[in-house]
């Protein structure tokens, strides 16, 4: 049941990101991007979101602004 725990963490993080203005698809993209741009797994990226759900780092507008060249 280890996979269930990982999926649960990811689903919770998607919910937090949706609360910050993301669509479910952009929330999943955000998690994948965070995991790919740092030395962590998607589960660790999800845990970072759920450990601090009120952070403005998760706001959709801020998230995309940080990626602009």
pLDDT tens-digit readout, 18-44: 999 999 999 999 999 988 988 888 889
> Which of 17-21, 43-47, 58-62 is predicted with the least confidence, judged by mean pLDDT?
58-62
Nearest to 46 by CA among 7, 4, 13, 8: 13
- Cα dihedral angle (25, 30, 32, 33), rounded to 10 degrees? 140
Model confidence band, residue 50 (pLDDT cutoffs 50, 70, 90)? very high
Q: How many CA atoms lie within 13 A of 6 on its CB side?
A: 8
Q: How many CA atoms lie within 13 A of 66 on its CB side?
A: 12
pLDDT of residue 69: 42
């Amino acid at each position: 049941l280890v996979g269930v725990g990982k999926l649960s963490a990811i689903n919770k993080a998607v919910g937090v990101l949706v609360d910050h203005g993301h669509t479910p698809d952009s929330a999943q993209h955000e998690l994948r991007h965070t995991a790919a741009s740092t030395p962590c797994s998607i589960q660790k990226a999800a845990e970072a979101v759920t450990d601090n759900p009120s952070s403005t780092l998760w706001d959709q507008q801020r998230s995309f602004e940080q990626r602009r060249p």
